[in-house]
Amino acid sequence: MSLARVGLGCANIAGLYAPVSAETARRALEAAWEMGIRRFDTAPFYGRGLSERRVGDFLRDKPKTEYVLSTKVGRRLVAEGGAEAVKEEPAAPLPFQVEFDYSHDGIMRSVEDSFQRLGLTEIDILYVHDLGAFAHGDAAPVHFRTFMDSGLKALEGLKREGVISAYGLGVNENEVCIDVLRRASLDEILLAGRFTLLDRTAESELLPLCLERGTTIVAGGIFNSGILATGASGEACFNYVPASADIRRRVEGMEAVVSRHGMSLAQAALNFPFSHPAVSSILIGTHKPESLRRNLELLGTRLPQSMVAELDPLALR
């Protein structure tokens, strides 16, 4: 499998649940580069600017023609009150508050801020981050209208002027992707956790719509917050929270199926997203070189159709 189809998700190098040192982050980025990964995805929200700073510092001396960089818009970082806002955060992010802003001007300011944090002059892809009910609940319709009426024009202009090469959504849900695609074109969707070995909810409507509209899918969250890497035992998580009894039962069943076929659960989870033609690539998120190497070694396996057929009834749809 070409490593052009694999990217490094750079949330972990800024710390998710505990601080990650600059040296640890650097080693992870260096390992990814040495292993052949040339796609890097970051966001202002990751470490409240820390991920962008670390990614930019690493890529600054790399030939631009050799890598693809994506970041996100929709959240702006604000200094006022930032120290107070993060004092209870266990992962020690930078001292900024987060404000949602999907307007034309908000997106333009966000891009300029990202250029400053990255210290780079080129960003390839912009994803609109967490537009939808998963992040916003009852406020989601207001943010959606702001983006469609205003923010989308900013992305169209940035692409037209050559500031970026592509744009799309970076989300954890199918519905908002469908709502946008029915009204506008998107180059790409970074979809976290909704087309995995366990969660197939994107399969019925979103993925066919992407094929129809010429929108590619980058599959993120392929381990569904960890349970497809660790299995159902212990403190397994699904969708960022402890897994329910139903989810554990499904995953236990999947573990038994893949084991009978001589495969590990992680191996099946890593290779499954490539089974659909709408998926162009996957993201692997880690700050541990050994984890990255182990995952890359598992890639390139074609899943037997007989095994997939056994797994199908256990998946969420």
The domain containing residue 165 runs over which residues? Answer: 3-314
Beta-ladder partners of 169: 128, 189
Q: How far is residue 179 CA from its own chain's centroid?
A: 19
Q: What is the pLDDT of residues 240-258, one digit of tens each?
A: 999 999 999 999 999 999 9
Name which of 163, 140, 10 is nearest 74 in CA terms.
140
Alpha-carbon gap, residue 15 to 160, rounded angstroms: 35
Q: Is the pLDDT of residue 233 over 90?
A: no
Q: Is the pLDDT of residue 87 over 90?
A: yes
- The CATH number that applies at residue 163 is 3.20.20.100
Q: Which of helix, strand or coil describes residue 140?
A: helix
Residues contacting residue 270 through CB under 8 Å, at least 6 positions apart: 222, 282, 284, 295, 298, 299
Give the number of other Cβ atoms within 10 Å of residue 111's Cβ. 20
Q: What is the pLDDT of residues 107-127, one digit of tens each?
A: 999 999 999 999 999 999 999
pTM of the model: 0.97
Instruction: State the catalytic residues.
Output: 41, 46, 72
Q: What is the pLDDT of residues 33-83, one digit of tens each?
A: 999 999 999 999 999 999 999 999 999 999 999 999 999 999 999 999 999
Computed over every residue of the chain, the mean pLDDT equals 97
Alpha-carbon gap, residue 270 to 281, rounded angstroms: 11
Q: Which region among 56-65, 185-194, 226-235 has the lowest average model confidence (pLDDT)?
A: 226-235
| pLDDT at site 1 | 55
Beta-ladder partners of 285: 9
Q: Is the pLDDT of residue 226 over 90?
A: yes
Alpha-carbon gap, residue 207 to 200, rounded angstroms: 10
Give residue 7's pLDDT band: very low, low, confident or very high (50, 70, 90).
very high
Q: How many domains is the chain built from?
A: 1
Residues contacting residue 128 through CB under 8 Å, at least 6 positions apart: 72, 73, 74, 102, 107, 147, 151, 155, 167, 168, 169, 170, 171
Give residue 234's pLDDT band: very low, low, confident or very high (50, 70, 90).
confident
